[in-house]
Amino acid sequence: MSNVEVYTTPTCEDCKNFKKFLGEHEISFTEYDIADHPDYADTLRNRSGKNLVPTIFIDNQIFFGFVFNRQKIEKLLLT
């Protein structure tokens, strides 16, 4: 099973779509809401060099956004 972490904000539609996708496939994940916890935003910048949401970590791979990376993410998580 893959380790999935996602940095989000409550108003991010792409974040909502990614979390919906995970729920539909019963994939567990850890969510870090950078709007409610500024220290998560600092951690995100340190880990990725950016402050974009959703930033998705799957094992040792990083993805900026879900829509543009959906096929790669599906291949990693569903095969």
**Mean pLDDT, residues 15-28 taken together:** 97
pLDDT at 1 over 90: no
**Cα→Cα distances 66→36, 39, 41, 69, Å:** 21, 23, 18, 5
Q: Would you place residue 30 in the very low, low, confident or very high pLDDT band (cuts 50, 70, 90)?
A: very high
pLDDT at 79 over 90: no
What pTM was estimated for this model as a whole?
0.94
Q: DSSP code of 54?
A: S
- The answer to whether the CB of 10 falls within 8 A of the CB of 64 is no
pLDDT at 17 over 90: yes
